């Protein structure tokens, strides 16, 4: 049974960066793609970007290009998402999710528990 | 700014049938990309409910069903139960510059 376990809650200052981790267990890490999705308080889901570990390079959504870096560490089966130049609007719960396949058009069948990031001065 | 539009809320009495629409465009649903649905209970992560338009993952009750036509998709819940009270999101792929995955605006289902 695949599980995704994310790092703990963070409180950050505006202008700083945050790095959230997502460790996969119970499955073949490199065979899948992973996405990052965030949810601001009381708002809907927003896709931020994804990565296919065997290809190495993360692919941020257009909105986040220049601010989001997504990497994968095969040796620890962990995916990371770093968001820079934080502003108050980045306060949200950040989820990692495993995609069903690597086609890039698929669903997300396993989700992490979420990591709350609060940006406040 | 979601590109898939859902009604903000729907409600129904226990046992009733409710449907949630998901309206897209020619760059996502209308282009033939599959639609997936997620259920999010309060304070929890989303859970995959329907994949590839009309398929249920193992463990999802057959009260939930999905369909797709043209630039829209729908999720139906028959025999509504109290535990179905949650937020529901559709998701697809979008081929425009915003790129890749897009989610619907979300629908709150209330069981009266």
Strand partners, A68: A83
For the residues B71-87, what does the mean pLDDT come to? 97
**Of all residues in chain B, what percent carry a pLDDT higher than 90?**
92
The string of pLDDT tens digits covering residues A37-73 is 999 999 999 999 999 998 888 999 999 999 999 999 9
The answer to whether the Cβ–Cβ distance between A111 and B47 falls below 8 Å is yes
How far are the Cα atoms of A80, A92, B68 from residue B71, in angstroms, in the given order? 34, 30, 8
b vs e for A55-82, b when ≥16 Cβ sit within 10 Å of the residue's Cβ?
Answer: eeebbbbeebeebbbbebeeeebbbbbe
Q: State the pLDDT at residue A26.
A: 86
For the residues B105-109, what does the mean pLDDT come to? 98
Q: State the pLDDT at residue A61.
A: 92
Q: State the pLDDT at residue A55.
A: 87
d(CA A17, CA B19): 41
Grouping H, G, I as helix, E, B as strand and the rest as coil, residue A67 is coil
Grouping H, G, I as helix, E, B as strand and the rest as coil, residue A30 is helix
Q: State the pLDDT at residue B98.
A: 63
Which residues in chain A have Cβ-Cβ distances shorter than 8 Å to B89? 44-45
d(CA B4, CA B28): 9
pLDDT at B77 over 70: yes
**Of all residues in chain A, what percent carry a pLDDT higher than 70?**
100
Q: Parallel, antiparallel, or unpaired for β A58-60 and A45-51?
A: antiparallel
Testing the interface with A: which of B6, B87, B98, B101 to mutate, by most A Cβ within 10 A? Answer: B101
Q: State the pLDDT at residue A3.
A: 95
Tokens (6 digits) for A93: 């719960």
Q: State the pLDDT at residue A98.
A: 96
Contact residues of B toward A, CB < 8 A: 2, 33-34, 36, 38, 45-48, 51-52, 57, 89, 91, 93, 97-106
b vs e for A99-120, b when ≥16 Cβ sit within 10 Å of the residue's Cβ?
Answer: bbeeeebbbbbbbbebbebebe
């Amino acid at each position: 049974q695949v599980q995704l376990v994310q790092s703990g809650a963070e409180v950050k200052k505006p202008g700083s960066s945050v790095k959230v981790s997502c460790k996969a267990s119970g499955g073949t890490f490199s065979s899948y793609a992973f996405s990052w999705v965030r949810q601001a308080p009381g708002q809907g889901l927003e896709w931020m970007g994804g990565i296919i570990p065997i290809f190495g390079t993360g692919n941020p959504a257009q909105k986040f290009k220049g601010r989001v870096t997504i990497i994968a560490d095969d040796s620890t089966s962990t995916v990371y998402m770093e968001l820079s130049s934080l502003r108050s609007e980045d306060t949200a719960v950040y989820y990692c999710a495993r995609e069903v396949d690597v086609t890039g058009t698929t669903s997300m069948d396993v989700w992490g528990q979420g990591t709350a990031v609060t940006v406040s001065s | 700014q979601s590109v898939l539009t859902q009604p903000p809320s729907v409600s129904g009495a226990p046992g009733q049938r409710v449907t949630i629409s998901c309206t897209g465009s020619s760059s996502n649903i209308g282009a033939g990309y599959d639609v997936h649905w997620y259920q999010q209970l309060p304070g929890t992560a989303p859970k995959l409910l329907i994949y590839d338009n009309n398929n249920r993952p193992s463990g999802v009750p057959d009260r939930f069903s999905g369909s797709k036509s043209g630039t829209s998709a729908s999720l139906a819940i028959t025999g509504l139960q109290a535990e179905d009270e949650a937020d529901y999101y559709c998701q697809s792929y979008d081929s425009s510059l915003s790129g890749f995955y897009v989610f619907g605006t979300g629908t709150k289902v209330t069981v009266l």
